[in-house]
Each structure stands twice: as structure tokens, then as C-alpha cells.
């Protein structure tokens, strides 16, 4: 069966572009210190206030010279020493060399540094240094501005700051950064069967895992989590939960209750208080998905089945979160890999199967399944290191065929 013979199923890319187009910024600009900037989204371009390096300096411990002054006998008298951190600028005495340490400013008149391992101190006169190799101008010199020019945009607005950005900001001497405020995300689970981990299960009950998995995903994002717990399958309680969540949050995320069961009050309630679309997505796992606007916030209704909730959060909710907090989110690279086994698949929905990618003995990137792929089977997710993305119209995959994988990536380096 292809997608056209399943009327009403929305292709995943269509859903993704609807999400991208509809969501808009919910956060405000605030200033944070460098210490608090990791993981935050830049509100403005970072323009370098200085050159990096700020001055010409030595890349080696050795001797600084003027390359064209090196005589044929390759020996130069030593004038003075310069250390990293020296702020005074003593110029090169013509026809001399200067003892220099890594990171020390290059004395005026010098244009090259020879590493000490390629030199010899004269046995009779330690003020005479012999250079064993020819030296070209620029050797072992780190030039002012060679990394960053003053005025250059070094990190564009909408970037989420990772550890390397923090290092660069410190290099530039920037200690106050304009970022987006944390997005407020309210989260709850819906279902009478759900109980808190740690309690004893009665027959018919299961532990509420979605709230914890989604919380764990949210914890890595630039958001403030408002955990509203589990809401029972009761119209009044569901209504109260949505109204409360909408008042305190920019995004409300709920899992469960978005399909068509008799206890699924979500649709009933949301139709009364918001403008929500209930989609049946051509994606596996994860068919039912709800998205739209409440009076104050965006609403995302994830499917109840745990792997479906996880996958739809990853592929869909992430887009709304990124857009609403002004983050130019780059999704993991889709990479071609060879399937090392058959993958069951029927045409009609895009599959996000859970797989394990590795490099074979011959150097080929290959992927195998992590086992049963049911939408409630979480173990195939925990054992995986990638999604195997099998296109909507594709059927069964035989071992040896190429497939697309998306490696699991931490949003922060």
C-alpha cells in the first residue's frame, strides 16, 4: 500500500514544514554572564571586539630573529629574553636574536622564531646561538588577527552556545552575552493507568515513563520545565490541567490521549479551549499527533506509546521548541549506511526504526536493527545509537541495500 491509498495520513515532511511555518518566537532577550551561557541561544551576532591573536607572538619556545639578518655562519648573539605576559616591548637589536617563550609577544624587528630544538648554544659562549636550519620569514609566528579580525562576526545570532563557543567568547574577552530567555515548557502525562515510578504496580497499571523520558530530553534544551504530573482520564481534570498549563507556559506538551479511545478526552477539551489540529501522521512509530494554539501557548500532543512519544518529540516537537526560542537548530546529518540484515517495512509510512551503526572490518558503515520495533518497546531504543529512516514508499529492505541513518546526537557538544 502506498501513501495515497491511506487517505488522511500526513507525510512527515508536510507536518514538519507546517510546524516550522506556524511557530514563532516566544522568548525575550536577556543578558547572562559567560558562566551561565552554555546551552543558551544567542539573541545577537557576536562581533569580535579585538583581533585574535591580539599581537604577533611566538608559537614555540626558541629564538626570535629577523630572518634576512641570519648570517652565513648561522650564529647570532643573544640580546634579551621575552616571556609570555611581558607587556614591555623591547625591539630586536640589529644582527641579534632574542630568547622567546611560547605565547610571548614578538619583539619589534623580529619576523621569525626558531624552535630551540633546532638551535645550539655555543659551548664556549652561551650568548652565541647557532641555528641549524634555514629560516623563512613567518616561521613559528602567530600573526595578529590571523584567527579572528576585530569587527568580524564570529558566532551568528540564533546559535545555541556549546563548549567551544564558550571558549571562543572567553578568548574574545566577552563576559556578558545577549541570549533568549529560557522557554517555559509545561509537561504532563494523561492516563488512568499511569503511576509514579517507585510505587507498587497494581494489575492493569503501568509506570508513567513518557514524562521522564521527555523531561530527560527537555533537560538538555534551553527550557524551563514545568512538570504537571499525571492527569487522570477525567474531562474536568483534563480541562483544568490544560488551562493551568497554558497560563504558565509557552509550550504545553502532553503525551497520551490524542488517539480515538473512549477515555481520550484531550481532543474534546482542546477543541473547546484551543485551535488544535489532530493529525494522523505517515510515520512509524507515532501516528497520532496533535498540534496547535491554546490562548497563550503552543500545544503539542504526543502519542502515548513510549517509543512513538520519543520519536515524535525528536522529529516534530524539537522543531517547535527551536522555532519558539529563536534557535537555528541543525538536525543530525542523514548518512547512507549499508544494512547488514533485512528490515521489515511496508510502504505507506516513514519508519524511524532503531538501529545500531558500526564500521565493518572492511571499513564500511553498516547498520543492524536493535530488535523488535513495536511502538511500546523501549529496549530497542536504549540499545540503539541511530534511527534507520526508511522512506514512506519503501518496502522491505534486504541485507546489503543502502539505507539512511540519523546518528543520535547530543544537542550540546
φ, ψ at 67 (rounded to 5°): -55, -40
- The answer to whether 22 contacts ligand AMP (rule: CB under 6 A) is no
Give the nearest residue (CB) to ligand AMP: 304
One of 134, 261, 374, 400 touching ligand AMP (CB under 6 A): 261
> By C-beta, is 58 or 266 nearer to Mg ion?
266
Site for Mg ion in 231-290 (CB under 5 A): 256-257
DSSP output for 219-265: TTSSEEEEEEEEE-S-HHHHHHHHHHHHHH-SEEEEES--SS-TT--
Q: Yes or no: say if 218 and 255 are a contact pair by the CB < 8 Å rule.
A: no
Binder to ligand AMP among 56, 208, 246, 250 (CB under 6 A)? 208
Least gap, CB of 278 to ligand AMP (angstroms): 12
Rule CB under 5 A: is residue 191 a binding residue for Mg ion? yes
**Calpha distance 399→28 (Å, rounded):** 50
Cβ atoms < 10 Å from Cβ of 24:
9
List 27, 181, 297, 305, residue binding ligand AMP (CB under 6 A): 305
Dihedral sign for Cα 389, 390, 396, 399, please: negative
Considering CB distances under 5 to 8 angstroms, the limit depending on partner class, which of Mg ion, ligand AMP, none binds residue 306?
A: ligand AMP
Kindly state the smallest distance separating residue 265's Cβ from ligand AMP, in Å: 10
State in angstroms the smallest separation of the CB of 209 from ligand AMP: 4
User: ∠ CA 294-295-297 to the nearest 5 degrees?
Assistant: 55
Q: By CB under 6 A, is residue 189 in contact with ligand AMP?
A: yes
Question: Within positions 306 to 365, which residues make up the interface with ligand AMP, using CB under 6 A?
Answer: 306
Pairing relationship of beta strands 275-284 and 350-359 according to DSSP bridges: parallel
Length of the chain equals 413
The residues that touch ligand AMP, with contacts defined as CB under 6 A, are 189, 191, 193-194, 206, 208-211, 255-259, 261, 264, 303-306
The residues that touch Mg ion, with contacts defined as CB under 5 A, are 191, 256-257
Amino acid at each position: 500500500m502506498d501513501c495515497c491509498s491511506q487517505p488522511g495520513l500526513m507525510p512527515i515532511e508536510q507536518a514538519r514544514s507546517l510546524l516550522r511555518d506556524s511557530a514563532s518566537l516566544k522568548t525575550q532577550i536577556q543578558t547572562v554572564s559567560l558562566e551561565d551561557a552554555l546551552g543558551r541561544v544567542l539573541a545577537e551576532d557576536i562581533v569580535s571586539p579585538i583581533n585574535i591573536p591580539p599581537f604577533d607572538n611566538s608559537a614555540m619556545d626558541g629564538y626570535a630573529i629577523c630572518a634576512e639578518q641570519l648570517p652565513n655562519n648561522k650564529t647570532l648573539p643573544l640580546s634579551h629574553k621575552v616571556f609570555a605576559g611581558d607587556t614591555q616591548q623591547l625591539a630586536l637589536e640589529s644582527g641579534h636574536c632574542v630568547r622567546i617563550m611560547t605565547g610571548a609577544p614578538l619583539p619589534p624587528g623580529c619576523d621569525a622564531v626558531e624552535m630551540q630544538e633546532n638551535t645550539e648554544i655555543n659551548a664556549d659562549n652561551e650568548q652565541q646561538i647557532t641555528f641549524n636550519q634555514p629560516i623563512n620569514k613567518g616561521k613559528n609566528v602567530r600573526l595578529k588577527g590571523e584567527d579572528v579580525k576585530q569587527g568580524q562576526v564570529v558566532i551568528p545570532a540564533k546559535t545555541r552556545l556549546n563548549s567551544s563557543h564558550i571558549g571562543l567568547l572567553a578568548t574574545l574577552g566577552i563576559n556578558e552575552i545577549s541570549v533568549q530567555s529560557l522557554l517555559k515548557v509545561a509537561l504532563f502525562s494523561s492516563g488512568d493507568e499511569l503511576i509514579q515510578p517507585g510505587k507498587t504496580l497494581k494489575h492493569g497499571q503501568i509506570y508513567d515513563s513518557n514524562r521522564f523520558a521527555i523531561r530527560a530530553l527537555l533537560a538538555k534544551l534551553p527550557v524551563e520545565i514545568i512538570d504537571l504530573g499525571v492527569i487522570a482520564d477525567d474531562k474536568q481534570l483534563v480541562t483544568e490541567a490544560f488551562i493551568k498549563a497554558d497560563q504558565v507556559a509557552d509550550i504545553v506538551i502532553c503525551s497520551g490521549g490524542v488517539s480515538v479511545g473512549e477515555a481520550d478526552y484531550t481532543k474534546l477539551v482542546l477543541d473547546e479551549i484551543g485551535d488544535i489540529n489532530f493529525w494522523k501522521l505517515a510515520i512509524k512509530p507515532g501516528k497520532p499527533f496533535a498540534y496547535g494554539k491554546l490562548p497563550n501557548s503552543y500545544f503539542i500532543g504526543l502519542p502515548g506509546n513510549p517509543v512513538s512519544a520519543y520519536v515524535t518529540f525528536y522529529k516534530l516537537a524539537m522543531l517547535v521548541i527551536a522555532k519558539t526560542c529563536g534557535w537555528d537548530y541543525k538536525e543530525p546529518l542523514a548518512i547512507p549506511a549499508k544494512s547488514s540484515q533485512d528490515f521489515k517495512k511496508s510502504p505507506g509510512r516513514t519508519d524511524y526504526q532503531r538501529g545500531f551503526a558500526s564500521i565493518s572490518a572492511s571499513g564500511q558503515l553498516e547498520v543492524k536493527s536493535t530488535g523488535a520495533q513495536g511502538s511500546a518497546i523501549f529496549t530497542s531504543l536504549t540499545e540503539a545509537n541511530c534511527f534507520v529512516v526508511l522512506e514512506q514508499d519503501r518496502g522491505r529492505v534486504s541485507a546489503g541495500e543502502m539505507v539512511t541513518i540519523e546518528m543520535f546526537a547530543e544537542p550540546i557538544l
